[in-house]
Amino acid sequence: MWVYVLGLLVVLAAIITTQYRIDINAAYKRLKKYDVKVVSSSLGKISYMDEGTGEAILISHGIFGGYDQAYVSLKTLVSADFRKIAPSRFGYPGSDVPPNPTPRNQAKAFLDLLNQLGIEKAYVISTSAGGAAGIMFASSYPERVKGLILLSSGVPTSKKSREEITGMMGPPAVFVNDFPIWFVTKYFGFVFRAMFASEIDKSLYETMLPVVPRKKGIKIDETITNLDMDLNYDDYEVERITAPVLVVHAKDDPMAKYDSVERFIARIHAKTAVFETGGHLITGHGDAVSVAIKKFIDETKQRESVMI
């Protein structure tokens, strides 16, 4: 009997290995198929996508992201009537890691990118771990922002010491490789559904792979980005944000807790699109999220016209 069991395990291992090689090769090819552009900034090379015309929207993507995830997110969130600027943050596919890859420097890199693209003012969407850089950009360069949209984003809520910060700031090290993430997403998607309290769309799965080109960025988020708003709370001078702010969030988000977000909303008097359920990915409310973002942009465009 053990011979049969062993034989079955060998067959299963062969099937899994073959499927993995097919899928991971496809993932690397898919990453290279995007129409990626590169600029040299004061903080190193930035890889980004730039598509469409109209109001410019720059997105600060989350962990496990990159220009591909940023681009797919923008295409999902806004219509074709916008210019979509989708850069990789520090250490993510195609973008360099400067000596001090902080959210403040990431905001400076965003500024360099907009300058080189000749964009005077843009809307900024920040998602999840991308919140620190987006908020820092809007507070450091308020004159360059037409509107800030925080989508399931982390926010600064209180100053803490490193010892006071609890919980995981990033994925377990064993997951930060191609095979583990492929295996879990392929056969155990419920693990991610439990983490996010959300169903995960296939397109998002695809932008998490391959993992290896994202490893440096994931490490930066785990050790620097996700700690920065607590450790350097006073640096996030959100009262300097002059642009309108829209917070889009689900109350049952297990990663960016709503009670913290609620305090932030009161602090800056942000507009809101808040959902009772949906988890970190606000699953089941995609159309409502897009409608809220479009309404916010339409209203703030009118405000800009009046100010001019």
Mean pLDDT of the chain: 91
CATH number at residue 92: 3.40.50.1820
pLDDT value for 21? 96
Q: For residue 278, is it within any domain?
A: yes
Instruction: Report d(CA 113, CA 25) in Å as an integer.
Output: 31
Going by pLDDT thresholds of 50, 70 and 90, the confidence category of residue 6 is: confident
Instruction: Report d(CA 60, CA 233) in Å as an integer.
Output: 19
Q: For residue 65, is it within any domain?
A: yes
> Contact 149/282 with Cβ under 8 angstroms?
no
pLDDT value for 187? 85
Lowest mean pLDDT among 56-70, 143-157, 164-178, 269-283: 164-178
Q: For residue 103, is it within any domain?
A: yes
Q: For residue 11, is it within any domain?
A: no
Return the higher-pLDDT residue of 149 and 306: 149
pLDDT value for 151? 97
For residue 249, give the H/E element and its range.
strand 245-250
What strand order describes the sheet that includes 37-41? 37-41, 44-51, 82-87, 55-60, 122-127, 145-151, 245-250, 271-275
Residues 69-85 as b/e (b if ≥16 CB within 10 A, e otherwise) read bbbbbbbebbeeebbbb
Q: What is the mean pLDDT of residues 52-59?
A: 95
pLDDT value for 242? 95
Give me the numbers of helices (H) and strands (E) for the chain, helices first please: 11, 8
pLDDT value for 11? 75
Write the secondary structure of 38-88 as one string of H (helix), E (strand) and C (coil). Answer: EEEECCEEEEEEEECCCEEEEEECCCCCCHHHHHHHHHHHCCCCEEEEEEC
Q: For residue 282, is it within any domain?
A: yes
Q: For residue 20, is it within any domain?
A: no
Q: Give, as one character, the DSSP assignment of residue 224.
A: I
pLDDT of 83 higher than 90: yes
Q: For residue 27, is it within any domain?
A: no
pLDDT value for 303? 60
pLDDT value for 193? 64
Domain that holds residue 111: 36-156+167-307
pLDDT of 172 higher than 90: no
pLDDT value for 15? 86
| 118 burial via Cβ count (<10 Å: 0-12, 13-18, 19+) | exposed
Cβ partners under 8 Å of residue 10, min gap 6: none
pLDDT value for 196? 63
Q: What is the pTM of this model?
A: 0.92
Q: Which of 142-156, 180-194, 259-273 has the highest mean pLDDT?
A: 142-156
For residue 229, give the H/E element and its range.
helix 226-231
Q: For residue 24, is it within any domain?
A: no
pLDDT in tens, 114-145: 999 999 999 999 999 999 999 999 999 999 99
% of the chain beyond a pLDDT of 90: 73
Q: The tokens 């309290």 sit on which residue?
A: 197
> Contact 119/56 with Cβ under 8 angstroms?
yes
Report the domain count for the chain: 1
Local structure of 126: helix, strand or coil:
strand
Q: One-letter amino acid identity for 144?
A: R
Q: One-letter amino acid identity for 71?
A: Y
Q: Which of 133-142, 248-257, 282-291 has the highest mean pLDDT?
A: 133-142
pLDDT value for 198? 60
